[in-house]
Structure 1
Amino acid sequence: MNKGGYSKYIRPLLYGIDLLMVCFLAYFFLTKSVLDISFIILFWLVLSFLISIYAIYRFTKIVKIISLFFRQTVLLALLVFTYYYISGRFIPKTNIINFFVALLIVITSWRVFLFVFFQRYRIITGSNNVYVVIVGLNHSTRKLASFFDNSPEYGYQFKGFFDNQDESDIIGTIEDSYNFIIENKIDEVYCSTKELTNEQIKELTEFCERNMKVIKFVADDKELFSKNLELDYYNLTPILSLSKIPLDDPIKDLIKRTFDIVFSVSVIIFLLSWLIPVIALLIKIESRGPVFFKQYRYGADFNLFLCYKFRSMTANKESDKVQASKNDARVTRIGKFIRRTSLDELPQFFNVLYGEMSVVGPRPLLMSHTDDYKDKINKFMVRHNVKPGITGLAQTSGYRGNIANDSDMLNRVRYDIFYVENWSLILDINIILQTIVNIFKGEDKAY
């Protein structure tokens, strides 16, 4: 899924260009030292994370973009002053001021140019569009529709109103909107909190989460059901959005991906390089068949990928549908050991390196389980907003192994959603440490 209408590669590329500008200007105005430039880059990244300067969207106003980058460059200049003062090395203050002024002009101009370029690009090419519908008809939503229709530079394609009123410009009832959203591949749903009951809002929200559609709310003075909301303005129309998950922030996502690469490469080099031949030999001695077991699972954005494991069972036709149970006759002797110690999961570090998985995240379920529960458990699909993990919060909290009933899955999904909505690098590290402890302790449900 292409969130926000942009290619997933554009934002990281733009951030890389920003860093190159910072490096070049630091080299030209301040220092030739690689260490100093590395610290300046670190300052830039930390400030970017704290100020959220990359939280720029198609509806963001240019004045806000200028304000964000002004704050960023001022604080960076202060940090550079402090860095040289603490290090005891002399550097002319005029050099730092020149660096600050040049950076402010160059990077702000670049970002404003880019913002305007994308606006022109949408108008000229008619691409990079976000398809939207509005559920609920009133004065505020008519103004919003007018904004969509009369502002092609923002790239919104308005497809119509849905409401239970009898009006000529309504294309269907609220109930009709569900099929329309799916069949017409709508990206964003705008919901009037004035026209819909709390129950209707709740049902529409759950539908959008289940089908991975963005839902936003046209605000008024009506009390909303309990949710974390963010307020934006499209011209003068206030719009409420469900607060974004942490890993929607590209800086946080980059931090997690960097950690994944470093951790997975370390495991592959220092552990799997010698452990794979040992386990492979033991598997081959005991039973015929391949060393590795490959199985399709749903990953981030509900994309399929091949998940790798050491083979722990004799070859059978039920592996895609039936999980291993206690005293399962299909599990080999070496299979029991590597499953109990979670060694069978180690080949998934290659999935992490390929970018299909993360070290920590919601565990990828059997496709049959996903198909069974995605419409049965509210917010189930939220777990697919991030990459699946080798280990996860649900697993370290006692919910691993066979899913015997609906409550097992419900509890697992609750922990998965908590992780998705509350991610932090510290949480990842805590889960990894707890996983290591569990490997040495062994787990009763690991069979």
Structure 2
Amino acid sequence: MSKIDLAIEGFPSRQPTTAAIQRNVRLWLCLLLAAADMAALAIGFVLGLRASGVPLVFADLWQPLGGGMVVYGIVAFHNQAFNPVCLTQLTPSLRNAALALAGTLLIFLLTLFSLKATGQLSRLGISSGIICSVTLLVVQRLFIVRAVQRNFSDNLFAQLMIIDGGVIPDDVSGMVIVDAEAAGIKADLDDPYMLHRLGTLLRDFDRVVISCPGDRKTDWAQMLKGGNILGEIIVPELDSMAPLAVQNHRGVSTLVVARGPLNLANRAQKRLLDIAITVPLLIALAPLMIAVAIAIRLDSAGPVFFKQERIGRGNRLFHILKFRSMRVEQCDAAGASSTRRDDNRITRVGAFIRKTSIDELPQLINVLLGEMSLVGPRPHALGSTAEEQLFWQVDRQYWHRHALKPGITGLAQIRGFRGATETRRDILNRVEADLEYLHGWSLTRDIAILIGTFSVLVHRNAY
């Protein structure tokens, strides 16, 4: 028996049928994704041509379209649009498919221009076909990703966890667990046969996770680098920092623990939406705001506006504007005391404008000044508490929500999380919703939240 045979004698191995089934499932799903893309392109162009009145028997049209589909298949394959990752993650799936389609259209148009064939094709038909194809492409990829996530979850990839004296995570579902000591595996960089033993174990897996003490992490990392596999090492001591990535700064490894949630283009889109809505709103609501200001002055002595320090983007303070709804001598500048039902500090006009959320209208000025956004995490007063604890003492993730501009409305508000914070759960609900919004921001979601706000302008918790 050779040394190689001795190295793997009595060695636990993954059942080959399980790994083969997972590989076959991935292959067939990738082929299904490719076929669905081709079907979306074909059906999209048929619908577009029918809608524009172009005869489907027009022979000069189908030849270039057929060639375009072949080009798309090649470009998409090269652009990783049929990669297994695209089966489980929507963003790379849509991004890679969109880039492949854009490249195909560019090649298609350049070819038509070079052959001087543009006059022979219906521009309306081609434009309609492109729009329908893109729509169907997005819909079918969304459907496939959701279906794969629901039916396969993590079982689409073969996963291995090696325990070498480290902790065992609570959730190891779908993973094969191997005890390193029992299997005779150790992180020994001086033993080629030990590396062979590890490589034999890893060959049927797509991902391996190592749990080991700190003094063995470096050796395990070196062993995995040549394993031709996605290798990870559990580092529980980093949990408190929640690192996003590892980078290198001037020759020194650094942990990336924070980055702005929106890039420049996204910030520009959000700001344009704010300005496009805020300016017309201020003009349209000016008579109402003037009437409210007069009513406040007639109802009680004091200024029309109530200014209060709030925490804005980047944890920087700003003064939020509201219509004053309380008597001046009883206003709570620090916000330490939450407003209660039948609060005797609230004026008659104040009760009405609070219940209808009219008191929030001056914050449109904050939006215009760039201190706030129409949609974002609601800014809180510095002294706000829940069960006699400041908000950031209840959950340290409270500070994470300030990576975005605060908003007049937000995801938490349309879910009904507003009003007094009497319990810890009241603020935890808000923080969880704000972090969900922060990590899943999109312009369409902002628009959806603005539309949803109309249904909660008058709310049982608004008082």
Q: Scaled by the length of structure 2, what TM-score is found?
A: 0.48
- The structure that has the greater radius of gyration is 2
TM-score by length of 1: 0.49
